[in-house]
Amino acid sequence: MAENTSALTAKKIPHSMTHHGHQRTDNYYWMRDDKRSNDEVLQHLHIENEHVAAQMAPHKVLQDSLFTEMKSRIVKDDSSVPVKDGAYWYVSDVTGDNEYASHYRASDAALSDKSLLLDVNALAQSHEYYDIGDLAVSPDDKLLAYSEDLDGRRIYTFRFKDIASDTYLEDVLSNTEGELVWANDNKTVFYVKKDAQTLLGTQVYRHVLGTPQSDDVLVYEEQDHQFYMGLGKSRDDSQIYIYLSATETSDLLVLDANTPTGAFERLLPRTIGHEYGLDKLGDSFYILSNHKAINFRLMRASAETIAEIARWEEVVAHRAHVLLEGLELFDSHFVVTEREMGQIRFVVHTYQGDSYQLTFNDECYFAGVGQNPEASATTVRIYYSSLTTPSSVFDCELATGQKVLRKQQEVLGEFNSDAYASERIFVTSRDGVDIPVSLVYKKSTFKKDGTNPLLQYGYGAYGITIDPTFSSTTLSLLDRGFVYAIAHIRGSEMLGRAWYEHGKKSFKENSFNDFVDVTRSLVKEGYGASDKIFASGGSAGGLLMGAVVNQAPELYLGVGCHVPFLDVLTTMLDETIPLTTNEYDEWGNPNNEADYKTILAYSPYDNIEAKAYPNILVTTGLHDSQVQYWEPMKWVVKLREYKTDNNLLLFKTDMDAGHGGASGRFKSLHEKALEMAFFIGLLDS
């Protein structure tokens, strides 16, 4: 396929930027419009969307078929497994063609008196985009608070309703992060307010029901804008926490939940480089800490010793090849989430020192501790999924480890998990490091002779690990002979904390090299055809795509680049852009010359060259608050200016959505269908 791009030419207005004696000129800087109201910018985005529609028109039947196919696998009438929290059991249902869930509660596990808490479909009815951020019931179970985002910029408004009468209170809290914590008096709440310009949450406010938001009291303000802010409550509900988290440092402030008018106090001194997670049950604090332990260890402290690390008691020691990822406290046991050689496991401990492992049988899988709101529970809820096993919910007896399957997500149609196979392999990178790769394919179509099309996905940032999970949408590719691969590149924590450290800042190019090296190895080993390789990534994974096509464009027939972070240097130099200052410890601070040079060397926008690039589909949301729309917009027009090929370069903007794309369980399938049709269409051209 070739494209006519004459209508997509954009004007140039040179914008010069000089730092550390180095000058850059950005001819498309003018495309930045913080208010999203510039007619010329909006017109260009509409023309790009029309171009996508025109180029994809020959594959419209395929795209519609893919959408119908993916939708047909989804159970229309479905419900969650009930969760007990206090006096009630909570459950959510989706029915028919509804895009959103409705939330209910009942007084028994059988849901015999199930009553409606919130009908999200009714709330979303008049909005193109709608997202519920948080649902929080008051401690006395009488009031419901929920937050809503109407444009995808993750700026949430809280509303409150009396559950018994199903009537709304007059209280409305706007410009929040979407998270709220109730004090134990059932009338005081705490929330994080967003800065209108940077969209950072730096202030915690106290609100008393029945009073206007203008009367709310600022109880804490964080001056260091490298920290993200969150709220929570201790496991025993006795304390309210303000969580502060920078890339390499944690901090926490505490307030007695029974004294909401008191002052938040720091629980232990803030120490640069000390990362930890903390919870409290009874008289003891439990801390997952990296103090003298790169992969973390579990410590215990009392109210008297919590402020002095030297007085903490070690409960689970540090191990060089085992990463401690999480902790869940119960009255009788505690559960530690561990990861070794990329695989998650759960270790159940008694407070007396005994322990055992909860394990699963798939070669590679994801499992996570689910909702366990009651410390008195005798079971732990676990969510489980693999590349061939649909999402499953288990309740595991803490005393014995016996697992009871409460639900497995039904996949409609002719799906049979035995028809598919998954593998975990390791690929040696150019610097001799073994990179984990998770693969899945349909047994009847996979030849391992270098003839299968292959889609490789990657992310590789922030220590976020993309675990191998089941996707009913991916079946549409597997059933057409595709192999699907997840490259667990450096920048995640797949192989422990050092795996992350060696994929950020001055080591960032390891992420890009790993992805390319995985592609070359999969082709060499016969997993994919050299002329049928596709790649996809979003957000920081979109940065990955931009860097990969600069480094090795010849490897890929097509690339999906979604809400991509592409103009890294310009963005990281601008503290007015949301999230910039929080990211210095991830990418580096280019106000420092060494970091500037590091970022300049790989920033996709700055490294576009006059050469052939693969077919590329780029998507974004106009209201994206994490990666602004103008980054992919500028990258696309500059790439069109430089590239020497006639391959497709398509740029689709959702004019109603933000970073997360379309809201709703079916609307988002249109985005999946577009990318799949783009890939499959390239095979057929």
Q: So which residues are the catalytic ones?
A: 539, 624, 659
Continuous segment of H or E residues that includes residue 279: strand 276-281
Token pair of 553, please? 């464009």
Contacts of residue 353, defined as CB under 8 A and 6 or more positions apart, other chains included, come to none
Q: How far apart are CA 181 and CA 183, in angstroms?
A: 7
DSSP label at 662?
A: S
Structure-token pair, residue 192: 């994080």
Q: Give whole-number Cα distances, 554 to 437, 455, 520, 544, 647, in Å.
A: 21, 15, 11, 16, 12
Q: 169-180 burial string, b = 16+ CB within 10 Å, else e?
A: eebebebbbbbb
659 in Cβ contact with 539 (< 8 Å): yes
Helix or strand (DSSP H, E) at 175: strand 167-182
Counting beta carbons within 10 angstroms of the beta carbon of residue 632, is it exposed (0 to 12), middle (13 to 18) or buried (19 or more)? buried
Give the H/E segment covering residue 569: helix 568-572
Give the span between the Cα atoms of 484 and 206, in whole angstroms: 48
**Three-state DSSP class for 397?**
strand
State whether the Cα torsion 384-279-187-85 is positive or negative: positive
Which tokens hold the place of 421? Answer: 């196979």
* Three-state DSSP state, 371: coil
Task: Please answer whether residues 253 and 241 qualify as being in contact, where contact means their C-beta atoms are separated by less than 8 angstroms.
Answer: yes
In angstroms, the first-to-last Cα distance of the chain is 6
Burial of 72 (0-12, 13-18, 19+ CB in 10 A): exposed
Give the Cα separation of 627 and 579 in Å (integer): 9
* CA separation for the pair 442, 420 (Å, rounded): 4
Q: For residue 155, which of 197, 209, 103 has the smallest C-alpha distance?
A: 197
Q: Measured over all CA atoms, what is the biggest interatomic distance in the chain, rounded to whole angstroms?
A: 73
How far is Cα 40 from Cα 44, in angstroms, rounded to an integer?
6
